[in-house]
């Protein structure tokens, strides 16, 4: 009985002390080994998460290239402060790129300047409005993405891509990039891959098509799967050689303009007489159309 009483007392002590141990002992120790980025508590379900890598002005960010990569796509944007997100604000940024051979020879290089603009907020199904592109930190603003395509087909021995920020409006701004390389699958590989894809992946791949996935022809499916863009990551150790963050993009169309339901279709001109509206409307596409009023 004495042993049973001691076990019950020990279980009671562990039950009372365990929440404090989790908060003040286990959490700091776990954070030393698994560092996670805090996420928004109200993250929309429509948000698609991706990783962006930040460019430095002094050091080049290096990406290793696979053999037979014909084209590179560099997707860049500017991380801005809230006061820079104004209609009259003119915010610009620039980045440098260069492609190197194995011996360090510069095969091609360039500098591109961009105007940073923000997209209008997106309405969600639950009635909320969210930025079209945003971070975990709600105090920062993400500009629209800008595309830069680098043709490698005429370059021999390209093994490395290097990027750096050439111009920043303010020291607090950062240029984020996402680099992908184009690859081409064979028709045999496409035929084996399509049945194994998830329905969500099929819908995303065939989103630009007019018809739903079950009505798309086999030739269109092959064209959608043959060409793909493979994400590339920078060389080095995260946190030491490069910095990264999560970027969220809403795949939701923007809200219609105010009073859009009252706007006439293109080519329509209502004819009005003095004092009362005319029930006849002239449209270029359909000709005269009679719309009887509710009351004469």
- Cβ–Cβ < 8 Å for 230, 185: no
Q: How much of the chain, in percent, has pLDDT values that exceed 70?
A: 74
Q: Give the chain's mean pLDDT.
A: 80
Nearest by Cα to 53 from 44, 45, 63: 63
Least confident of 25-29, 53-57, 197-201: 25-29
pLDDT in tens, 240-259: 899 999 999 987 777 776 66
Token pair, residue 66, equals 């696979």
- Cβ–Cβ < 8 Å for 75, 178: yes
Angle at 47 between CA 50 and CA 79, to 5 degrees: 55
**DSSP result, 184-234:** E--HHHHHHHGGGS-HHHHHHHTTTSSS-GGGS-HHHHHHHHHEEEEEE-B
What is the three-class DSSP state of 181? strand
For 79, other C-beta atoms within 10 Å of its C-beta total: 23
d(C-alpha 285, C-alpha 265), whole Å: 10
Of 15-19, 20-24, 214-218, highest mean pLDDT: 214-218
d(C-alpha 10, C-alpha 278), whole Å: 89
161 contact partners, CB below 8 Å, separation of at least 6: 62, 63, 65, 72, 97, 98, 99, 100, 150, 179, 232
d(C-alpha 160, C-alpha 157), whole Å: 9
Least confident of 28-37, 46-55, 166-175, 233-242: 28-37
- Cβ–Cβ < 8 Å for 76, 148: yes
For 135, other C-beta atoms within 10 Å of its C-beta total: 20
**Exposed e or buried b per residue across 82-120, where buried means at least 16 C-beta atoms within 10 angstroms of its C-beta:** eebbeeeeebebebbbbbbeeeeeebeeeeeebebebee
CA of residue 4 relative to chain centroid, distance: 59
pLDDT in tens, 108-118: 999 999 999 99
Helix (H) or strand (E) holding 16: helix 2-21
d(C-alpha 56, C-alpha 162), whole Å: 11
- Tell me the longest C-alpha to C-alpha distance in the chain: 103
For position 141, what pLDDT does the model report?
A: 94
Q: What is the mean pLDDT of residues 162-168?
A: 96
**Predicted TM-score (pTM) above 0.75:** no
For 155, other C-beta atoms within 10 Å of its C-beta total: 15
For position 20, what pLDDT does the model report?
A: 56
d(C-alpha 16, C-alpha 13), whole Å: 5
pLDDT in tens, 56-82: 999 999 999 988 789 999 999 999 999
For the chain, what are the domain ranges?
Answer: 47-250
């Amino acid at each position: 009985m004495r042993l049973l009483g001691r076990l019950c007392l020990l279980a009671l002590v562990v039950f009372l002390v365990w929440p404090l141990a989790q908060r003040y002992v286990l959490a700091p120790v776990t954070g030393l080994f698994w560092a996670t980025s805090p996420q928004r508590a109200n993250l929309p379900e429509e948000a698609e998460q991706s990783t962006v890598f930040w460019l430095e002005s002094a050091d080049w960010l290096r990406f290793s290239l696979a053999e037979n990569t014909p084209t590179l796509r560099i997707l860049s944007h500017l991380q801005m402060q809230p006061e820079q997100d104004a209609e009259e604000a003119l915010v610009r940024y620039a980045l440098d790129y260069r492609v190197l051979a194995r011996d360090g020879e510069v095969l091609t290089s360039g500098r591109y300047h961009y105007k940073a603009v923000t997209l209008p907020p997106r309405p969600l199904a639950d009635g909320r409005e969210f930025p079209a592109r945003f971070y975990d930190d709600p105090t920062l603003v993400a500009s629209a993405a800008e595309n830069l395509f680098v043709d490698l087909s005429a370059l021999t021995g390209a093994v490395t891509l290097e990027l750096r920020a050439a111009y920043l409006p303010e020291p607090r701004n950062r240029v984020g990039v996402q680099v992908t390389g184009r690859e081409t699958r064979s028709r045999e590989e496409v035929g084996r891959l399509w049945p194994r894809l998830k329905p969500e992946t099929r819908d995303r791949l065939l989103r630009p098509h007019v018809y739903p996935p079950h009505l798309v022809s086999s030739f269109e499916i092959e064209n959608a799967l043959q060409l793909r863009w493979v994400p590339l990551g920078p060389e080095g150790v995260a946190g030491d050689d490069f910095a990264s963050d999560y970027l969220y993009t809403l795949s939701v169309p923007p809200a219609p303009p105010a009073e859009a339901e009252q706007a006439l279709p293109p080519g329509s001109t209502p004819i009005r007489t003095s004092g009362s509206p005319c029930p006849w409307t002239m449209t270029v596409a359909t000709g005269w159309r009679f719309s009887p009023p509710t009351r004469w």
